[in-house]
Structures are given as C-alpha cells and as structure tokens.
Amino acid sequence: EPKEKEKRLAELQTKNTGFWPRKIFKWLEGNVDDSPRIPEARGSIESFRNEAFFIPLYQLYLTFGGIFRLTFGPKSFLIVSDPTIAKHILKDNSKAYSKGILAEILDFVMGKGLIPADGELWRIRRRTIVPAVHLKYVVEMIGLFGRATDRLCKKLEAAAANGEDVEMESLFSRLTLDIIGKAVFNYEFDSLNIDTGIVKAVYIVLREAEDRSVAPIPVWEIPIWKDISPKLKKVNAALKLVNDTLDDLIAICKRMVDEEELQFHEEYINEQDPSILHFLLASGDDVSSKQLRDDLMTLLIAGHETSAAVLTWTFYLLAKEPSVMAKLQDEVDSVLGDRFPTMEDMKKLKYTTRVINESLRLYPQPPVLIRRSLEDDLLGKYPIKRDEDIFISVWNLHHCPSRWEDADKFNPERWPLDGPNPNETNQNFSYLPFGGGPRKCIGDQFATFENVVAVAMLVRRFNFQMALGAPSVEMTTGATIHTTEGLVMSVTCRTRPASNSINSDSEATPVSR
Ligand code: HEM
C-alpha cells in the first residue's frame, strides 16, 4: 500500500498543479509515512509508585523489546534497552543529545556543573577538569582510600567487640563522603566520627536531589510553594551552608596556590593538598566563578552516592554468596595481608576487581541514563523527532536474559581473570558501568580503586553476615539504587592467616591495630 500511495503522489506531482490537487498532494505527503512505529506501552503513574521504577521498565522491556515508548497521559518517554541504540545515542551521534530532564532536576544543586552541562560549556569544562584526575593523583588517592577505610575498620572493630549489629549502607555513605571531600576540595568531613552541621547539610541537599529525581510533580517550581514550604526552606538553608563552605575552601586554596612556588605542569600535584580544586586553581581556573563551585558540587555528588551504593550492594551480594566471599578473602590474604593497598596491589587484586565489575553489572549506578534528542534522528529502524525524552536502561542492558548466562546470578567468574577489565567498548555497549562515549564517567578509575581498597581491607579484617532479624533488603531508587530499610549486618573479627604476601613492599604502611 505505501508503494501505491507513492505512485499516486508522483502522478499528482507531475499532472496536477491546481489549488485543490496541491492541497490533496500536501495532505497525502504528510500521510506517506511508511516508517515503522515504535512499540508503545501505556502506563499509569500508580504502577510505578510502589517499587523502584526500573523494575516495571524491565518487565515492559521483556514484552516490548529494545526500544519502546512509555506514555503516561500526555507525557511520553522512549525506553532504550538495546546496546546498538545505546551506543548510537551515547557515542556515535552523541552531539544530537542533551541531558534534558536531568539538567532541569539538578539545576538547584549542580547549576551548570559537568554532569548537567551541555554543548560548548560542557566541552570547555570537561577539557579543564579531566586532566586533574591524572595517574599521579589517582596513586595519591589510593593512600587516602586506605586511611579512610581504616577509620571505618576501627568503628567495625568496636561494634564486633560489643556484639552490635551495624547498618552498613549509612556507614558506606559516610566513608565515601569522607573520601570525596578530601579528594575534591581537601575538606575533612570526618562524617564517620562526627555529625557536624555541614555533614547534615550535605545530606539534606543530597536527599532533595534524590527526591526531585523521582517526584511526579515539580512542586519546587510553584512560586508560592517555594516561599512557604518548610522543607524547601530547610533545603535552601542547607544549600547556602554548603555553598558558603565551598566558597571558603576555594578562598583558602587560592591563598595556598598564590604562596607556593611549584610550576604548573601536566601531572602537577601539591603533596599537602592533592585535591582536584588545588589542581584547577593552579591551572588558572577562575576562582570567583559560580562555574567552579557548580563543578565541585557536581564532583562531590557524583563521587559520593555512586561509590556508597556500589559498596552497599557488593556486601549484600557477598553475604548471599559465601563461596565468592571465601575466594575473595583468599586473594586478599595472599596479595595484601594487613598492609594498606598500593597501586601495585591494584593490578594484583584481580578477583576483587571482578567482584566489583559483577556488582556493577547487577546493580548499575545509576540504573538509567537520561537524554533528550536535540534533532530528528533514527534509532535502529525508527525515526524519532527532536525533544524526545529518553531513558537508557542500563539495568535492562545488564540483566538481558539473552545476553547474560544466568543473568541474575552474582558470578564474578563470568569475567576471566586473565581477560581485559570489562568496559563498554570490549562488551559492545551491553555493559555500561560508567556510561560511554564523550560523557563517560571521569572518575571510573578513581572509583574502581576506591571500591577495591575498601572491599579488600574490610574482608581481610572481618566476616560479614546479614544480621539475625534484619529487615529484608529491598530496592528503592533516587539517582542511585538504595535499600528501603538499610543493610543491617553482623560483623565479626576474622582470625586471619598470616600474610604470605610476596609483595611486602617497604614503602607500604602496615595497618596499625
Ligand atoms: C558520569 C557512574 C564515580 C564523576 C558518570 C556516568 C556514569 C557514572 C554511568 C555517565 C552518566 C551519563 O552518561 O549520563 C559512576 C559510578 C561511580 C562513579 C558507578 C562509582 C562507582 C565517580 C567519581 C567521580 C565521578 C568518583 C569524580 C571523582 C563523574 C562526572 C561525570 C560522571 C563528572 C560526568 C561526565 C560528563 O558528563 O562529562 N558516572 N561514577 N564519578 N561521573 Fe561518575
């Protein structure tokens, strides 16, 4: 039939030039659309209320396939779970997509920071910030990860001695906050030990960002609501405290940079303050700019919640799979013993790295990536218009039953130890732990080492089990996947075998106990 229409169109074009034939021609032209239509699922917001929203999206994916439209009344989203289409959006034609809704939701906290920024501004800031995460910086950070995890170990030792259960999700959140504060702007939150006003303020701001990511109606945009809502007042006060603190830190750091005599170069690092902020100021970044503060806030949030979630779900998975835990502890005993990990150890802790790779497959953080089309495009065989809101479901890519054998099983062995570290490129975009294309995570190596160090040091010193009577572990979501009621575990000190580490390299600090 489309062929028929085309023929009739061609006839009209050549034979008829009058007013009515031209009108008919126009009408027909609009209707000669033989392009395939994207399968459409209609949803009710209610069905998405009760559980983490990426779970119903998985069920719909099994029915509708790698790309479908999800319509709620007048609003619709494209849900992409196909690796080739994901690659097209994230990499091959990435210029045609922006961060869309994400930038709108996060504007209050990240402004035009690196995650929400688009276009030329994003390009400039990415070029400025990426060099700060150089190899020497990452090596320096491995020491910081060890010291911070050691403080967590002390807390767990006390809990183990008293026979107290511990809620690991909040402890991991504090561990990664302490790490990222020091790593990004040389600030000691010490949130594992004290609950200062600034720590509380950071949590109020983070919670608000999470709430906004899942709110069905943007109440924060309603003018009167803005002024009378007690919650928003609290959020604004917290935001002011965090911003003022950042301004102070920028000023302190600027003074340090002005006084130092170090020459700026590619792998520049100040030993007293190796932070990203110090690198940026030394490289000549504008201190007074709101942009710098937006970027620092972005790095804080990007590096905090994600790593905390990875550690939480890794320990949940390990508690459920004792054989993996035993193998992991064997590796750590032989490679590391009681030393603080070094860069050399990162290459040797192969199974530990596979555990993190596999945890990120089962619990990707964030579970969906958000984009908006800036122009018309073709996704697979489907033409799409500009202004489409798109969710790339990393959860679906990572759980696809035809791509992964025993897709729901926690099986680090699926990644051979002598094979390459799995990433989006060598897995053809069916595995996207850190995204892909030009907007790929800039902290992927930092985060992987942070998680490897924390997991290795913790499993060397303790055995972890789900606590008796602990609430069952269910998922809920904001930007990352959280548990609904915490990860309550019982922790016991391990009687650990003497280290037969062949790598007792002399510069590594022994853990004081
Ligand atoms: C972007 C994951 C840790 C900084 C991303 C993206 C993912 C991701 C999936 C891509 C987002 C998108 O395409 O929409 C993770 C995970 C982490 C982690 C799973 C921990 C395990 C970190 C850390 C930092 C960081 C520690 C900072 C030191 C960023 C930034 C971007 C980003 C700045 C935006 C890059 C851009 O748009 O140019 N991350 N990340 N991330 N991540 Fe991470």
Per-residue pLDDT at 29 exceeds 60? no
More confident residue, 39 or 225: 39
Per-residue pLDDT at 33 exceeds 80? no
CB of 172 within 8 A of CB of 312?
Answer: yes
Distance of CA 495 to the CA centre of its chain: 35
- Is 126 a pocket residue for ligand 1 (Cβ < 6 Å)? yes
Q: Which of 65-74, 211-220, 278-287, 409-418 has the lowest mean pLDDT?
A: 211-220
Could you tell me what percent of the chain has a pLDDT over 70? 89
Per-residue pLDDT at 202 exceeds 70? yes
Phi and psi torsions of 248, nearest 5°: -60, -45
What is the rounded average pLDDT of the residues 61-77? 92
Determine the pLDDT at residue 10. 58
Per-residue pLDDT at 503 exceeds 60? no
In the beta sheet, which residues pair with residue 475? 483
Per-residue pLDDT at 506 exceeds 60? no
In this structure, the residue with its CA closest to atom 39 of ligand 1 is: 441
Averaged confidence pLDDT in the chain:
90
Determine the pLDDT at residue 261. 83
Q: Is the peptide bond between 366 and the residue preceding it cis, with omega within 30 degrees of 0?
A: yes
- Any known ligand binding at 153? no
Phi and psi torsions of 428, nearest 5°: 50, 45
428: left (phi over 0), alpha (psi -120 to 50) or beta: left
CA distance from start to end of the chain: 80
In this structure, the residue with its CA closest to atom 43 of ligand 1 is: 441
pLDDT in tens, 279-323: 999 999 988 889 999 999 999 999 999 999 999 999 999 999 999
| Complex ipTM over 0.95 | yes
Closest CA to 343 of 509, 143, 182: 143
Helices (H) and strands (E) in the chain, counts: 19, 13
pLDDT in tens, 426-450: 999 999 999 999 999 999 999 999 9
- Is 397 a pocket residue for ligand 1 (Cβ < 6 Å)? no
Distance (angstroms) between ligand 1 centre and the Cα of 384 equals: 27
Best substitution site from 176, 441, 452 to test ligand 1's pocket, by max atoms within 8 Å of Cβ? 441
Question: What is the C-alpha to C-alpha distance for residues 178 and 241, in angstroms, rounded to an integer?
Answer: 18
- Is 447 a pocket residue for ligand 1 (Cβ < 6 Å)? yes
pLDDT in tens, 449-496: 999 999 999 999 999 999 999 999 999 988 899 999 999 999 999 987
Per-residue pLDDT at 383 exceeds 90? yes
Per-residue pLDDT at 513 exceeds 50? no
Determine the pLDDT at residue 495. 87
